[in-house]
Structure 1
């Protein structure tokens, strides 16, 4: 029979190999009874393991078959809990988009219908909010439909999900930066029109797109420079947890282009779900920020649906606090 330290060491080693998560433990003595307390560290979320008979751990130490059963059970508890939290987040996000569709959607005029040379900044803000809501929402509706298929198909389709989440994470970074720099929407709205269109594109077409870019660029920003990810991260420098989200963007960027990394350095199922959950957390909070700081209607309702509160620093700068 193994001693108490060996029990903890074995669990830490074997469960770590299966899930790549950290497991710690300690034995406490109460009278004639020993109690083993295990800590399963699966950040960034809290995994509540309840109604599990941990006495099976001690009983299984000397029996390989029982031991493998215990490890598999703990592994599935963590996976199912992670998947449950992900589903809850997508329900909140898609519910927010549905509420927006019913109560806030607006129809905007095309640039050619305006007589002035620049769009009204207030109208531009509203266009920006609606565009971000539907971009994020559309991706999340798609991913939610995959969650309806169950945990195994969801894990197996993680690469495709990651391509969608890469777009979501980048949009969230733009939203966060916009909430800290109100002029940034000018660059966001105009940047795509002033990208090079190719040497064979007629000058008249290039001129037309440049005029549209200028129409949306109410602050006369250098749109291409402003939209660089290095500038976005500079705006967000020092914000709570921004390093987590910068890393998340870097990881999912490898999904959106041909890359060997997802295949030659595969992640465990727990790690895959952990990344998705971090992304959904980011989407929830950026949507909350967008809809409470850049939208005039239903702020309390959006916070209620999303289940988060918009936090501010000095009344203006959105603090992306992780809870």
Structure 2
């Protein structure tokens, strides 16, 4: 695999830089010596102090600058692009959460559709080298065929969140076709790890177990998720940044990749891994499947392996141990 290393002569715009994946990816690029411009609206979907803590890590790097603004603010974006030669855009900003999309659909249309259109327009008018953007395993909906392949039809989303992510892929395809903008869609599979989102199950499970409170387990724990450790996600995205030259040389410079662990874990076994890391049993309450949830996610990562030679390899026990150690140090000891 003859990939060029990440070119740190270029400037990288990371939207959602105060988010979970955004912070870790920005940190990785900064450690490589790259110039990173962070962009985030710091909304209060979950505790903003966690976002501030992530930003504090990034602000220690001299080659990091931060802009607090919303993707729907097209004028602000235009000014940012006009004043900076941005070579690569990694769009991770989005309104996250499957269940929240049922309660507050407007937030998803504004952030995930209008905001993404603005990013595409900036890439079009400022001739960026490469746009990478977050999609999601949720686009596969209730797909019964496993593992999930990027060749599968994904026309039946079961949540508005998934519908917006599928829309992003279609919009990116259009801009790649019309304007030859190299775009790479990143279908992330259940990302977890230190500084993760508090609304994710593993975070709330850990909190409840530590506090001796019951945890809600849906479908009696009989669900499977392709849990993917944050370092594997970041390393996968970094490899795909390096792959930009190959993408640019294609007639249609458009590609979608699954980034998942390729090893689905049963939810009840995942909970047991948390119990083991904490040395404490959970008080379990069982509930039926929730609207918008799917039974199983399982990533086919053959394209990721073939194109950039990367395969996630962090075992669930190791990843959970690292998260729990962080949680006890950062959250519970305060």
TM-score by length of 2: 0.22
Structure number with higher strand proportion? 2
TM-score by length of 1: 0.22
Bigger radius of gyration: 1
Structure number with higher helix proportion? 1
Higher relative contact order, structure no. (Cα contacts within 8 Å, ≥ 6 residues apart): 1
